[in-house]
Amino acid sequence: MSPMRAPVTVRRDDLPTAVTIWEVGARDGLQNESTVIDTATKIEFIDRLAACGLTIVEATSFVRPDRIPQLADAAEVMAGITRVPGVRYPVLVPNERGLDNAVVSGVGEIAVFASATDTFAQRNLGRPMAEQMAMFTPTISRARELGLPVRGYVSMCFGDPWEGAVDPGQVIAVVGDLMAAGCTEVSLGDTIGVATAGQVTALLAGLVASGVPIDIIGVHFHDTYGQALANTLSALGSGVTIVDSSAGGLGGCPYAESATGNLATEDLVWMLDGLGIDTGVDLGALIDTSAWMAGKLGRPPVSRVVQALAARI
């Protein structure tokens, strides 16, 4: 008996009619690999993702090579990709030097990476949480002066491996700081994958009550405890229309060892297709791309949809 190749579609009127997928596989996915992927493969990966109908493909990160050696070729990657009209290729930058390098590479938008907990800020940024905005504000301000949109990632929004459960007030405060500095969008990260659907609803309600517009909030779930799709559905029910995911389920976090793979883009698209929510993504082409990348990495993809359908698309 062969599996179904597409889900049955049943619309729910309480959910959005369309969702923007922020594809992070080429950056957040590959940065966690133990081996360095060659530049040509990264370029082909990004080009293939764009050809699947994804309108946002986060391409790389302009960080110090000794911090993330897997992404040391950021400038070469940005020079080599084919920039498809209508597709955005944001990059992560840690500071003004990273911004300078990104601008030289013709980047059209950037992201910065904040923390909702002190321990992770120390490990990831080398400074306490109370001092992180001093690092980000000049970068955000300069980017906005250059006309670049800025996304603010907030990590450890639901749980921290060193500090445990995270007070929603800490997350709301960091989001407020990022918006005040000029961020045009924020992404809430469940970095170690411990969030539950009720937590997601509560945090989103708190953010909206604090004055954060729901349409600038994205969600970024990891599937450590198998809750990423449930948490995404909860976020959609709260009005979120921006969802981060990674082709094939690639990724984790190099500074949080308990963080496993991101929500797989194919699993997300299968669910959204079944709900009649438009993404513009060609699921078959995406599965083929993730299966190809899995071959390059020498291991099977994490995505359950890819596992089920890769040999049959």
pLDDT digits (tens, 9 = 90+) for 265-281: 999 999 999 999 999 99
Reply yes or no on whether 183 is catalytic.
no
* For the chain, percent of residues with pLDDT exceeding 90: 85
Q: How far is CA 200 from CA 75, 157, 257, 281, 295, in A?
A: 36, 9, 23, 25, 35
Indicate if the pLDDT at residue 255 is higher than 50: no
Between CA 243 and CA 241 the distance in angstroms is 7
Q: What mean pLDDT comes out for the span 103-118?
A: 97
By three-state DSSP, how is residue 275 classified? coil
Between CA 262 and CA 270 the distance in angstroms is 16
Q: What mean pLDDT comes out for the span 79-107?
A: 97
Q: What mean pLDDT comes out for the span 255-268?
A: 75
Q: What mean pLDDT comes out for the span 7-20?
A: 97
From first CA to last CA, the distance across the chain in angstroms is: 15
pLDDT digits (tens, 9 = 90+) for 14-55: 999 999 999 999 999 999 888 889 999 999 999 999 999 999
Indicate if the pLDDT at residue 254 is higher than 60: no
Strand order in the sheet with 150-155: 56-57, 20-23, 242-245, 217-221, 185-190, 150-155, 110-115, 91-92, 60-61
pLDDT of residue 312: 57
* For the chain, percent of residues with pLDDT exceeding 70: 95
In the set 52, 157, 183, 253, the catalytic residue is 253
CATH topology of domain 20-309: TIM Barrel (3.20.20)
Pairwise pLDDT comparison (62 vs 254), residue with the higher score: 62
Round the average pLDDT of the chain to a whole number and report it. 93
